[in-house]
Amino acid sequence: MLANTGATLRLVDPSVLRRLGRSGEQLLPYEGLVRSSSGHMLRIRGWINVELRLGNIVVTKEVLVADRLHANAILGVDALGAFGAVIDVGERNMMLIGTGEVLPLGALVMANLVGDAAETAVVLVEGSVGLPPTLCVARTLCSMTDGQAIVELCNASTEEFWVTKGTVVASVSVVPESAFASESKTDDDSKYAAASEVGETVAIARRETTAVDLGGGGHGSEA
């Protein structure tokens, strides 16, 4: 999703309607002309009402369906205003005034944890076995927050790939505090000993989405 403070319209790619199971619905005609920021004309198929979701806020808006859109969705200033969204460029986040939620800008995905891990525990995130070869999960360390971990996904192919609700995309291992001890250990045996203390692995399942969850979803060249 692209938040465009210079746009006045709301645009979605036809693939969004396919994901919602609404690709067969009749679009209402749109007679206006729409140009991209580069000046070239966009081919508009029509418009339709859809539910848009940012964080825990859901609004229903008219959106234009545009062919070959470079993003799944583009929200203009009116839609961002309906969400009460305030973008902090310096901190690279978006705050929703109504709920106080702060959404990070970028390609990170917050995923629910299936299992138990202490709040603020440091975990090692690794890709789950059985993922498509072109769907990559970054091997990273992060802290648990509200039962969720950050998962960074990348689609290495040129084809669109959707991560559906309930898909196990990664596993996490709880890293003990002793692994971050300040004592200097230089020999290989001590390094392997610290690594062997990694705790029980638990599965991560992607957070359930109910509407068009513009905080995550499809993954193109990177997500």
Task: Check residue 62 and give its pLDDT.
Answer: 93
Is 222 a residue whose pLDDT tops 90?
no
Tokens matching residue 5:
């403070």
**110: pLDDT confidence band, cut at 50, 70 and 90?**
low
pLDDT at position 10, please? Answer: 92
Residue-level pLDDT at 220? 42
| Average confidence (pLDDT) over 136-140 | 76
Is the entire prediction scored with pTM above 0.75?
no
The conformational region for residue 25 under phi > 0 = left, psi -120 to 50 = alpha, else beta, is: beta
209 confidence band (pLDDT: 50, 70, 90): very low
Domain span(s) for CATH 2.40.70.10 in the chain: 2-105
Q: Comparing 48 with 196, which gets the higher pLDDT?
A: 48
Give residue 39's pLDDT.
75
Tell me the pairing of strands 2-3 and 73-75.
parallel
Would the pLDDT of 64 be above 70? yes
pLDDT of residue 27: 95
pLDDT at 100 over 50: yes
Instruction: Count the Cβ atoms, other than its own, within 10 Å of residue 166.
Output: 11
pLDDT digits 0-9 by tens, 146-172:
777 777 777 766 666 777 777 788 888
Sign of the CA dihedral with 143 first, then 148, 150, and 154 last:
positive
pLDDT of residue 223: 38
Our separate counts of H helices and E strands in the chain read 3, 18
- CATH code, 2-105: 2.40.70.10
Report pLDDT for 65: 95
